[in-house]
A and B are shown apart, each in its own frame.
Chain A
Amino acid sequence: TQLLEQSPQFLSIQEGENLTVYCNSSSVFSSLQWYRQEPGEGPVLLVTVVTGGEVKKLKRLTFQFGDARKDSSLHITAAQPGDTGLYLCAGVNNAGNMLTFGGGTRLMVKP
């Protein structure tokens, strides 16, 4: 089983602060995805990173895939209360038919 560890598990910050969430594994993934889940809903895909070293930006969110394709990070600049939610990373196996999820980071942004 390929394992993904996310850190921190919980993060509570003030509006306007920056933060970084990490997703680490000892396994190599063909690609890595980041999802956000709001209460009472299923996770929704934010981004997929495919190439080692790849950086993708989605407004104030910056996603990076490690050079070795084993880890990833999500950086949020000037966090807003609307960013509150559970952030999940998920690795795609080499066969391309299975997603393995990390434990998630629960983010709360206080106004």
Chain B
Amino acid sequence: DVKVTQSSRYLVKRTGEKVFLECVQDMDHENMFWYRQDPGLGLRLIYFSYDVKMKEKGDIPEGYSVSREKKERFSLILESASTNQTSMYLCASSPRATRAYFGPGTRLTVL
């Protein structure tokens, strides 16, 4: 079974802190994605990566950056967390966009 793991299930940070969300997949998938999920807005794509060191902006990249130094790991970085970044963050991987395998999500609260 494909496994996508995220570093934390719950995270509480203060405004202005730098936040790292880590995602690891064990199936050698080329594509990895970061989404945020908010009630009524569905999943919105923040960034995706189709190869090591490659990244593409999604629909809502502002306030976020990403890093993909190894194929299995895709990190989402909030340089200076703000309260409007309180959300559920979901990482996914796929061999192509044939299907997405999701991690369990990280619920981030920014106070």
User: When the two chains form the complex, which single residue of B40, B42, B90 contacts A42, counting CB atoms closer than 8 Å?
Assistant: B90
A100 at the interface (CB under 8 A from B): yes
A96 touches B43 (CB 8 A): no
A99 touches B97 (CB 8 A): yes
Interface size on B, residues (CB 8 A): 25
Give B13 Cβ to nearest chain A Cβ, in Å. 20
Q: A42-B102, A98-B48 are in contact. Are A6 and B42 (CB under 8 A)?
A: yes
Report Cα–Cα, A40/B100, bound state, in Å: 17
User: When the two chains form the complex, which single residue of A6, A41, A90 contacts B100, counting CB atoms closer than 8 Å?
Assistant: A90
A40 touches B102 (CB 8 A): no
Give B64 Cβ to nearest chain A Cβ, in Å. 17
Q: A42-B104, A43-B100, A99-B33 are in contact. Are A9 and B4 (CB under 8 A)?
A: no
Interface size on A, residues (CB 8 A): 25
A44 touches B102 (CB 8 A): yes
B98 touches A48 (CB 8 A): yes
Residue of B nearest to A42 (CB): B102
Between B35, B40, B98, the greatest number of chain A beta carbons within 10 A of the residue's beta carbon is seen for: B98
User: When the two chains form the complex, which single residue of A44, A92, A93, A101 contacts B43, counting CB atoms closer than 8 Å?
Assistant: A101
Interface string of A16-52 (1 = CB under 8 A from B): 0000000000000000010100001111110010000
Give B6 Cβ to nearest chain A Cβ, in Å. 9
Report Cα–Cα, A33/B92, bound state, in Å: 14
Residues of B within 8 A of A96 (CB): 96-98
B12 at the interface (CB under 8 A from A): no
B100 touches A45 (CB 8 A): yes
Residue of A nearest to B35 (CB): A101
B105 touches A41 (CB 8 A): yes
19 A–B contact pairs at CB < 8 A? A6-B42, A9-B40, A33-B100, A41-B102, A43-B90, A45-B100, A48-B98, A88-B42, A90-B100, A96-B97, A97-B48, A97-B50, A97-B96, A98-B48, A99-B45, A99-B100, A103-B40, A103-B41, A103-B42
Which A positions have Cβ atoms within 8 angstroms of B?
Answer: 1, 6, 9, 33, 35, 40-45, 48, 88, 90, 92-93, 96-104
